[in-house]
Amino acid sequence: MHFRFSLVRSAIPGAGVLGLLALAACGGGGASALASTVSSMNVAALKYGATALVTINGTGLDSSGFAVSSSACSNMTRLTTAPTASTATTAFYNCTVSGATSGTVIATSNGATAGSQTFSVPEPQVTLNVTNTQGVNGQIVLALSADKTPLTVSNFLAYVNSGFYAGTIFHRVVQNFVVQGGGYTATVNGQLPSSPKATNAGIPVETTGGSNLQWTIAMANTGLPDSTTSQFYINLQDNTQLDGSYSVFGTVTSGQTVVQAMTAAPATCVNNPLDGTKDCLPQPDITITQATQTQ
């Protein structure tokens, strides 16, 4: 807090000094009390799950009362090294686009909004390259519902972008039901490995993604809390009886013929009394050679 005043001699001894002390104490006197101003903001965001760069111009952007946040961009971090070293007049932040495909970055000064900038990214998309070196060969393109199932989509993309799915197989094919994969590596002598690949910690089921309709993709789980990890399935028909128990998080937008070819591939089949299905293990393996976030 600042005052413009003229010094007037007081008739009371010492009163002028006391008045000056009181004025000097008003507002705390530190850098945190300085107001920041924002003249422009820019958010460079290319795709969901990737790092966005926030650039802010103004004054007092190094004040301790200046803050930047966004509900659609997590882990907001002020940058301090060249070529994006923040100063009092230009501040740089990065964050991870998550939670929604569109949002607003908000800059505040001492709790009050100083500026804001909206941004958007395309709906995330993943492409699976799949082959069994015989009749199954091609790409399966998945559009992911980040706005409806942000936790599940972020979990799936973490596996995709780490390279986890490369070399995994579709280990369960059930005619007129589902194809399931994303957990096991190659078979040995026609048998699955004794256990699936090690995964990240499990997450809860998100039931906000919609219904298990034909060509939707959902995450498998064991039925226990927080047991959703890396395995997923594609619905070959409307399986609405599964609704509420699994996270439906996307749709096959291209490559349905590749998925259909899996159901006709050579396989070893056994009855599954638990689900009342006939589960088939394709032989040779139907392998995901590459999984890539293509949007």
What is the pLDDT at residue 33? 57
Contact assessment for residue 65 and residue 110, using Cβ atoms and an 8 Å cutoff: yes
**Backbone φ, ψ for residue 159 (5° rounding):** -70, -45
Q: Domains in the chain, start-ordered, CATH in brackets?
A: 32-120 (2.60.40), 125-293 (2.40.100.10)
pLDDT tens per residue, range 53-92? 999 999 999 999 999 999 999 999 999 999 999 999 999 9
Q: Above 70 in pLDDT, residue 278?
A: yes
pLDDT grade, residue 19 (50/70/90)? very low
Q: Which residues contact 97 (CB under 8 A, 6 or more apart)?
A: 45, 47, 48, 49, 50, 51, 52, 72, 73, 121
Q: C-alpha angle with apex 235: 243 to 240, nearest 5 degrees? A: 25
